[in-house]
Structure 1
Amino acid sequence: MKKLSARRRHPLAAVVVLLFALAATGGLYAAFAPADKAKADETAQSLAIEEGKRLYSVGCASCHGTGGQGTSDGPSLVGVGAAAVDFQVGTGRMPAQQPGAQVPKKKKIYSQAEIDQLAAYVASLGAGPAVPTKKQYDPQGANIAKGGELFRNNCAQCHNFTGEGGALTNGKYAPNLNGVSPKHMYEAMETGPQNMPSFPDKTMPEKNKKEIIAYVQAVNGDETPTPGGAKLGGIGPVAEGLFAWVFGLGGLVAVCVWIAARTTKAKKS
């Protein structure tokens, strides 16, 4: 027993035990880890990047550069992330038909599989926001009232109170949000396309983005009542008052001019 106890107290005993534990852990991991699945995922990702690079060379490199570094005709794509590609290409804004103050939404020309490949390639150029999952952007159960408050404080200045869009400076505009998918709304908030500021999770948490999406869908839904007739952008009596002021006052001025003209004509007679 004394000899065994002495061996246990040997200075190298702890090192031997540690090495044995590491070897056992490594052996168990090698035996049970899903190596095939991990290797298959890595291979699929590499193929997606390679195919995305091919698509990029054909449809994007002329403006954004052969390596995504940007040119005088297009900004750098290094670090924009997969979410920006999914939004821009998924809404048809990219590839752009022609230069202008703002690239409009149009019918997309790539399939979703091709968009995913383009996104994988651009993401490989530099870290950036990833394409969100359905769990991230699904507004089911979100607080619509809170979303309305957030929207009015952060978005209504450009997109109008109900997301119907509006004009900006120098030919730019905030697009109408009616019919935009929750995923694309989330990606727009995450990446800040064109003139829009970005709202990453540090600035606006995922929960708040869901609430804004829920609000936009609620106020633009087919079942949303408009008891006053035309909703006029949802800005309330201001629009009606402006209409009455312009056309009502204009009508009164026209009547006054007509009366003055008739009076002057009668006096001359």
Structure 2
Amino acid sequence: MTRIDLNCDLGESFGAWRMGEDATLLELVSSANIACGFHAGDPLIMQQTVRLAAARGVAIGAHVSLPDLQGFGRREMRVSADEAGAMTLYQLGALHAFVRAAGTRLAHVKPHGALYNMAARDRALADAIARAAQAFDPQLILFGLAASALIDAGKAIGLPVAAEAFADRRYCADGSLQPRGEAGAVIDDNDDALEQALGIARDGVVVTVDGSRVNLRADTLCLHGDGVHAVQLARQLRAALEQAGVRIAAPGTA
């Protein structure tokens, strides 16, 4: 039986402002990437989301970001490798406090937004993030874009990695994600997203924006919790994967 993780970015509310349907999504995914306060989230939201994930047996990961609440972490910033490493470690420590208080463990770390894309192509940044994760916990699983510098950086130091693909993002012919600023970069049609996700999970292939077919091996599929149809897509995707004989389970679990 083919196996894949289904992860979702959660805990992205802030103060009185609410984003996403986290409680419902946590019934459908196997891993949760919880915002650590840099691009979204606040201490109370982090605590609540950790408790919800723990209660549902969902693997908990730190969704680390550039410090950019106003831009939701999707604007690139000029940061050094040392800064990227320190920011990663800082956010890991913040979320770990709530994880430990909830009597559970931190399973993985995944950069968010601009930091994710920067680390996918910049090996120096990728190395710094991987080293920070290893310094925190050498068993921590590093999530990164499949076939990217971040995955290579984790492998190079013996850190467990999970190659990630996206159900709702278009791919370029080189295997990179189509930039969000370009038309059609986000897949709004659920049927199209389902077709892409099944192609990746079952066949290891994705159709790119130019119509070519590219091999893409992934350990985990991401859904964005801030999408308008996030719950509907998650429910449909889980059902479609299970119907296709794909087992949904977090990396590192039996």
What is the TM-score normalised by the length of structure 2? 0.27
Structure with a larger share of its residues in strand: 2
Higher helix share: 1
Higher Cα radius of gyration: 1
TM-score by length of 1: 0.26
